[in-house]
Structure 1
């Protein structure tokens, strides 16, 4: 979608440049751009080539459509302008009308012979463009002329309904759904990511609802669900819409999905929405890089409480090591609980909320790593790095370590690599944590399997 948008933008920008207009028929294009009907008519009467194009291939008709000048469109069509001509980027007059959301001009172009299923390079149809820009009347015009609402573009297998959902165009979604757009269609190109996400989201299996969820578009999600979309839609690796919402810090969307009946215990990818929410609160992507920006008024800790209140097992363990820190995977999360994930980024507030809900602070990961070890620093990638606001500050690290130790974590427990909490504190470079652990019996002579 981004590539197609870029091509259209480049087409228009190039068309605006002075050098692009420096051709024999630039006066006609200039007159069209200025909106002077009398000058355009005079130039045509004098024999100006109605198909004369700028350097980027844009014709006078394309400029008239782009500028939304219906009278000039009519005049140029009457002079024989080719309604199907495209510029060098494959953009034709009808695509520009759809981009502008100009239903009346689009209808006139269709009357003049434009195929309602016309595509641009990459497979973007007129209906996709109209759905993306969101003017419902242009969507209606195309559907009334027989445009297929379920055609897929070539890059990722997206449909017009997906484009509308991704851009929160609720009115366009309503029209498309009424006219037979498939609510359960899925993206199908495994070589491309469907957009920015903060988890290892696969490139396949995105439905229109999942596009709306990922973007935090509540209106779009509401219309789709009202039309019959499945609130438990999941991408191809099993991440449900609820997990996708949490992965993108769309807390209000996640709460809305819960209200609409989403399964809070769904863990098709190997982790549930509680795991993901705790992780996204302080996403460690390294070197202080922030995680996704949360919009709305609902706080992530409120969502944690909602999930717990709706029956999520506070001690549920991850069954796959799927949530990664950027492109790194130093910490194996197989078997991790939400408490473990909170301890990893020393999120003391979340640790306490989970404990109040009955979290077991002693459950290790599958490789024997304990919450105390990760709180001390065993799971960080770079000395001194943090996972977001406050995470990694020594006073909070010390508090997280203290909580784990006081609740029974063995100060000298070792994982399968022989690493202990003291190794983690040393790697973190937190002297006050090292001192605290030693004061509580940490073995300074403990060796890892590598010695």
Structure 2
């Protein structure tokens, strides 16, 4: 077909092009042939958004290395997860994430449903990957995404150990933004008294304003959680605060 003029980069179908199909089927020999005859390694589209993301989805490190060696854009945006690093995190594959980071993946790249890779790793409840990303320079206080920042995402996931990890690594306990306005209000809204108490012990502003409930006390009242209301009042919550 190729000898008779078939376009190696023609687009269409679930996989968008021939190279993505070969990658998804983990056919190394065919991938090499297609690359030699001019297949566009960075063509966008298809189920995963690009060839490199398709390779990552198969968890085939050798295929990923082959594509990187042949010029695949490691920070290409788009696709189901928003980018290559996000795609690797979705597989919970620590080795794949390390491989991408070692080859220049931007640990603070924005994109996808979770906006940044750190929040995505938190959403996956993967403390190993969270620690790895922080070690590699992920911005712990980056804003954006559904929950506003990494700390709020962790509070929402109700993972006490990960909340401690982020606080120990310098997360801004009073950062504003996201669905609940701040981490303390998120804890109150999620009925998590252990995390609420932890945040207060670590210096969270008990009267911080913002979010859908105005402040943490109002969130606790709406939740009808008497123990949390009592705790917040003991910690100095202003019962007359407006919000």
TM range (shorter): 0.7 to 0.9
Q: Give yes or no for contact 2:83–2:112 (8 Å, CA) kept in 1.
A: no
Find the counterpart in structure 1 of residue 204 from structure 2.
359
Equivalences for 1:17-416 in 2 at 5 Å?
116-121=8-13, 124-153=16-45, 158-187=49-78, 194=80, 206-235=82-111, 239-269=115-145, 271-281=148-158, 300-318=159-177, 322-323=178-179, 333=180, 336-365=181-210, 369-377=214-222, 397-411=225-239, 413=240, 415-416=242-243
How far does residue 212 in structure 1 lie from its aligned partner after superposition?
A: 1.8
How far does residue 347 in structure 1 lie from its aligned partner after superposition?
A: 0.8
Q: Give yes or no for contact 1:246–1:254 (8 Å, CA) kept in 2.
A: yes
Stretch deviating more after TM superposition (134-143 or 223-232)? 134-143
- TM-score (normalizing by structure 1): 0.48
Q: Give yes or no for contact 1:131–1:169 (8 Å, CA) kept in 2.
A: no
Deviation string, structure 1 residues 286-319 (Cα, Å, up to 9, x no partner): xxxxxxxxxxxxxx3222122111111112222x
The alpha-carbon distance between structure 1 residues 250 and 120, as it changes in their structure 2 partners (threshold 3 A), is: same
The whole-number CA distance in structure 2 between the counterparts of 1:232 and 1:136 is 31
How far does residue 366 in structure 1 lie from its aligned partner after superposition?
A: 6.1
The alpha-carbon distance between structure 1 residues 367 and 208, as it changes in their structure 2 partners (threshold 3 A), is: closer
| DSSP-derived class of the 2:172 partner | coil
| DSSP-derived class of the 2:151 partner | helix
Q: Give yes or no for contact 1:183–1:228 (8 Å, CA) kept in 2.
A: yes
The alpha-carbon distance between structure 1 residues 317 and 361, as it changes in their structure 2 partners (threshold 3 A), is: same
Stretch deviating more after TM superposition (126-135 or 400-409)? 126-135
Deviation string, structure 1 residues 232-258 (Cα, Å, up to 9, x no partner): 111179922112222343433222211
The alpha-carbon distance between structure 1 residues 154 and 216, as it changes in their structure 2 partners (threshold 3 A), is: closer
Q: Give yes or no for contact 1:317–1:337 (8 Å, CA) kept in 2.
A: yes
Unmatched 5+ stretches in structure 2: none
Q: Give yes or no for contact 1:277–1:304 (8 Å, CA) kept in 2.
A: yes
| DSSP-derived class of the 1:216 partner | coil
| DSSP-derived class of the 1:365 partner | coil
The whole-number CA distance in structure 2 between the counterparts of 1:256 and 1:221 is 9
The whole-number CA distance in structure 2 between the counterparts of 1:233 and 1:133 is 28
- TM-score (normalizing by structure 2): 0.83
The alpha-carbon distance between structure 1 residues 132 and 154, as it changes in their structure 2 partners (threshold 3 A), is: closer
How far does residue 124 in structure 1 lie from its aligned partner after superposition?
A: 1.5
| DSSP-derived class of the 2:43 partner | coil
Task: State the aligned residue count.
Answer: 242
The whole-number CA distance in structure 1 between the counterparts of 2:174 and 2:9 is 52
How far does residue 119 in structure 1 lie from its aligned partner after superposition?
A: 4.2
Q: Give yes or no for contact 2:59–2:93 (8 Å, CA) kept in 1.
A: yes
Q: What is the aligned-residue RMSD (CA, Å)?
A: 3.0
Deviation string, structure 1 residues 128-160 (Cα, Å, up to 9, x no partner): 12333445444334323432211122678x210
| DSSP-derived class of the 2:77 partner | coil
The alpha-carbon distance between structure 1 residues 126 and 368, as it changes in their structure 2 partners (threshold 3 A), is: closer
Unmatched 5+ stretches in structure 1: 1-83, 85-109, 189-193, 196-205, 282-299, 324-332, 379-393, 417-451
Find the counterpart in structure 2 of residue 53 from structure 1.
none
